[in-house]
Structure 1
C-alpha cells in the first residue's frame, strides 16, 4: 500500500491510469488528512472570542470559562490513547467516521447549552471524539508513503494543519458579528459533517484487514505497552511535546494574553495567531523543502536552534518596556513557532519509524503525552503566570530548553551508532 516516488513510472494505458491515481493520491489525500487533523486545534480556540459573551449568558467568570478549554483538552488526551490502537484493529476510516459522528452531536449539544455545566459536558464529548480524526489521520501518511516523500507530505499536512489555530479565533470573532456564541458550535457541527463526507468520498482505507490487530482490550493495551517500553520513544515524544507546548502556552492562554497582556478585544486575536501560526506554516514548508537535501536529524537540530533563539528573544523583549507592545510582543513566540514547524513533521516521522507495525499506538501515546502536557499548561501554568508577558515568555523558554535537551540526549545516544555504521 505504501507509495514511493517511482511507483507511478509504468508504461502504456495502465501506466497513465496509475500516474493519474498517483497524482490524486499525492494531492487529494494530504489535503483531506490536513483538514481532518485541523478539527482538534480548530475546536480548541474558535470559542475564545466568545468568552465574554458566554460568561454573561452563563453567569461564569474567566477562571470558570478556562474550563471550556481544559475539559476539552483533558478528554482529548484521555481518548487519544484509544483512537490509534482502535484504528490498528478496525481500520482508519471506521474510527474517523464514528468519531466525527459523535463530534457533530456534541457540537450541537454545546450550541444548545443552557448553563456552564451542560457546556462542559458537551466540550468533554467533543474532546473524546475529535482525536479520531486528528490522531488517526497522521497514521495514514505512514500507511501510504515512505522516505523523503513521506517527509514532504507530512510537512504539507502540518502546513495546512497549522492554519487551524490562526483562523479559529478570527473566524469565531467573525461569527459573533453575525449572531450569538452558539453559532460557533453550530459551525463546528457543520464542519464535522463536511469532514465525514470527505472521508466517505475521498479517503481510501489504508490499513487492510491482514495487517490489523485483534479487537481485544488486552491486545490494545499490550500494543501501547510495547511502544511505552521503547526508551527513544519517550525522548522524542517529550522533546516535541515540550517545544510544541511552549507555543501552545500562547494558544491555550490566548484569552489571557490577547485581552489582559496586549489589552485587545474579541476581534484582535489575529495579532497573535497570524504571525505565530504563519511562522509555523513557513517552518513546515521548509521541512518539506529540506526532504532529501538535509538529513532529518540535522534538520531537527537546526529547527530547535531557531526555537531557542526565539525563546531568548521572547524573554528579553518581555523583560523590557516593549513587552506588551506590538509587533515586539509576538516576535519571540513567532520564532519559536518557526522552529517548531520545521521540527514537528520530522519528529512525527522519527516516532512512527520506531514501531512500524504499531503506527496507531505510536501516534496515540505520543499525542496523549503532548495533550496531557498541554492540559496541565492550560489548567495550572496559564493561571499561575496571569497577565504577565514575562511569565508567558519564561514558561515558554523552559519548554523549549527541555525539548532541546531531550533531543541532545537522543543524539548523544545515537551518534556513536551512526558513526560506527558509516565506517562499516
Structure 2
C-alpha cells in the first residue's frame, strides 16, 4: 500500500514540474507564433510560478476543512481545462490567461501530498516517505524538457499542452480510484476566514519557521535560476539544439533523486540538523567549483553541468529534514503549515526564475555567481533558524 501511495503522491507532485519544464524548449517557437520578444515569453513562466505560489497559501487550509481528496480532484479538473486552453490558444494574451489558471491549479498535489504524509506517518518514517516521493517526483523535471523537445520538433509546441492535459486526466482517474481520504471528518477545521488569517499570522510570526522556509527556498533558488534560464543556457551559452535539454536536466534531477535516496537512508543515522549541515557543506563546495570553472573556462558540456549535479545532490539531502523541522512546529495545522512553507519557497522560486534569471542568463559566470550568492543568504537564514545557545 505504501508503494501505491508513494506513486500517487509522486504523480501529484509531478503536475507542477511538468507544467513548468515540458514547454521550455518551445520558447523560441512560441515567440515566433505570437511575434513576441523573449522577455514576453518568459512571462508565461513567471505568471505561472507566481500564481502557483499564491494558491499554495490556500490548498493546505482548504484540505484541512474539506478533506484531502476533494480539493485534489477539483484542482485536477481546473488543470485539465487550463492545459486544453493552452493547446488551442490563439493569442499570447489567451495563453498567459491559461498559464495563470494552470498555475493556480498545479500546486495542490505538492502541498496536500505533504499533509497526507503528516496524516499517516511520523518521525523518521515520515522523512523516509517524503524522500521516496522526491525520488519518483524527480523523474518529472528530468524527463519533461527532453520529452518537450521531441514533441516540439515532431508536432509543434501545442502538442505539449495536449500532453499536459492527458497527464491531468490520468492523475484524476488514479486519485479517484486509489487515493483514500487521510483526514477524518472529526479532525477537520471549520473554514473560518478570520481564524485562518490568525493562524497564518501565527505561523509567519514564528522566526524559526520563517527562516527554515526561506533557507530552503533560497538554496533551491540555485536550482530555480538554471531552470528559469534553461532555454538560453542550452541554446545560447552551450550552443545546443532544443532536443539537448537533457544536458542540463539529467544532471540536475539525477542529483536530486540520488540525494533524496541518500536522505532516506541517512534519516535513521543522523539528526535532522546534522543532515542539513552535511547538505550545506556539499552545496558550498559545488557552488565554488562552479564559479571557478566558469571564471577560467568557456562553458561546455559536460564540465559546465557537472557542478550542478553535485549541488542538487547536496540540496536534496536537506529538503526532507528542513521541511519536517518547519512543519513539526505546527502539528495541529499541518496543512496550513505546508501551504505557508510552499508559498514562501515557490514565491522565491518565481522571483529567481522570473525576475533574476533574465538579468543573468546571458553569461554562464553570472549564473554561477548568482547561485553562490543565493546560497550564502540561505546559509545565513539557516543559522538564524537554529536555537540560541544558552549561556553557561
Normalising by structure 1, we get a TM-score of 0.90
Specify whether residues 156 and 191 from structure 1 end up closer, same or farther in structure 2 by C-alpha distance, changes over 3 A only. same
Offset of residue 378 of structure 1: 2.2
- Corresponding residue for 1:343? 318
1:310–1:335 CA contact under 8 A, matched in 2: yes
2:229–2:361 CA contact under 8 A, matched in 1: no
- Corresponding residue for 1:205? 181
In structure 1, runs of 5+ residues without a counterpart are 1-23
What do residues 44-96 of structure 1 show as CA deviations (whole Å, max 9, x unaligned)? 01101111221121111211110110010011111111111111111111110
2:208–2:384 CA contact under 8 A, matched in 1: no
- Corresponding residue for 2:83? 107
Distance in 2 (CA, whole Å) between partners of 1:161 and 1:53 is 28
2:13–2:109 CA contact under 8 A, matched in 1: yes
What do residues 8-46 of structure 1 show as CA deviations (whole Å, max 9, x unaligned)? xxxxxxxxxxxxxxxx1x211011101101111111011
Which of 133, 142, 161 lines up with 1:166 in the alignment? 142
- Corresponding residue for 1:7? none
What do residues 123-153 of structure 1 show as CA deviations (whole Å, max 9, x unaligned)? 0000001111222111111110011111111
Offset of residue 416 of structure 1: 4.7
Q: How does 1:298-313 map to 2 (within 5 A)?
A: 298-313=274-289
Offset of residue 158 of structure 1: 1.1
Distance in 2 (CA, whole Å) between partners of 1:406 and 1:335 is 22
What do residues 80-127 of structure 1 show as CA deviations (whole Å, max 9, x unaligned)? 111111111111111100000000000000000001101000000000
Which of 81, 89, 92 lines up with 1:116 in the alignment? 92
- Corresponding residue for 1:182? 158
- Corresponding residue for 1:6? none
Distance in 1 (CA, whole Å) between partners of 2:243 and 2:62 is 40
2:31–2:38 CA contact under 8 A, matched in 1: yes
State the structure with bigger RCO (CA 8 A, min sep 6), 1 or 2. Answer: 2
1:55–1:65 CA contact under 8 A, matched in 2: yes
- Corresponding residue for 2:361? 386
Aligned residues: 392
RMSD (CA atoms): 1.4
- Corresponding residue for 1:146? 122
Normalising by structure 2, we get a TM-score of 0.97
Distance in 2 (CA, whole Å) between partners of 1:32 and 1:415 is 42
Distance in 2 (CA, whole Å) between partners of 1:94 and 1:220 is 19
2:211 aligns to what SS in structure 1?
Answer: helix
2:293–2:304 CA contact under 8 A, matched in 1: yes
Distance in 2 (CA, whole Å) between partners of 1:213 and 1:153 is 25
2:11–2:171 CA contact under 8 A, matched in 1: yes
Distance in 1 (CA, whole Å) between partners of 2:148 and 2:354 is 22
Which of 391, 397, 409 lines up with 2:384 in the alignment? 409
1:85–1:223 CA contact under 8 A, matched in 2: no
Distance in 2 (CA, whole Å) between partners of 1:65 and 1:305 is 36
Specify whether residues 155 and 416 from structure 1 end up closer, same or farther in structure 2 by C-alpha distance, changes over 3 A only. farther
Distance in 2 (CA, whole Å) between partners of 1:379 and 1:280 is 22
Distance in 2 (CA, whole Å) between partners of 1:184 and 1:123 is 13
Which of 77, 81, 103 lines up with 2:53 in the alignment? 77
Offset of residue 415 of structure 1: 5.3
1:166–1:277 CA contact under 8 A, matched in 2: yes
Q: Which has the higher mean CA deviation after the structures are superposed, 112-121 or 227-236? A: 227-236
In structure 2, runs of 5+ residues without a counterpart are none
2:228–2:354 CA contact under 8 A, matched in 1: no
Q: Does 1:353 align with 2:353?
A: no
Distance in 2 (CA, whole Å) between partners of 1:177 and 1:397 is 35
Distance in 1 (CA, whole Å) between partners of 2:349 and 2:252 is 17
Offset of residue 379 of structure 1: 2.6
Offset of residue 219 of structure 1: 2.5
2:209–2:329 CA contact under 8 A, matched in 1: yes
Q: Does 1:266 align with 2:238?
A: no
- Corresponding residue for 2:131? 155
2:209–2:385 CA contact under 8 A, matched in 1: no
Which of 168, 186, 207 lines up with 1:231 in the alignment? 207
Q: How does 1:5-16 map to 2 (within 5 A)?
A: none
1:165–1:251 CA contact under 8 A, matched in 2: no
- Corresponding residue for 2:306? 331
- Corresponding residue for 2:269? 293
Distance in 1 (CA, whole Å) between partners of 2:170 and 2:201 is 35
**Structure (1 or 2) with the larger CA radius of gyration:** 1
What do residues 239-297 of structure 1 show as CA deviations (whole Å, max 9, x unaligned)? 10010111111012111211121111210100000011101111100000012111111
1:86–1:220 CA contact under 8 A, matched in 2: no
1:45–1:168 CA contact under 8 A, matched in 2: yes
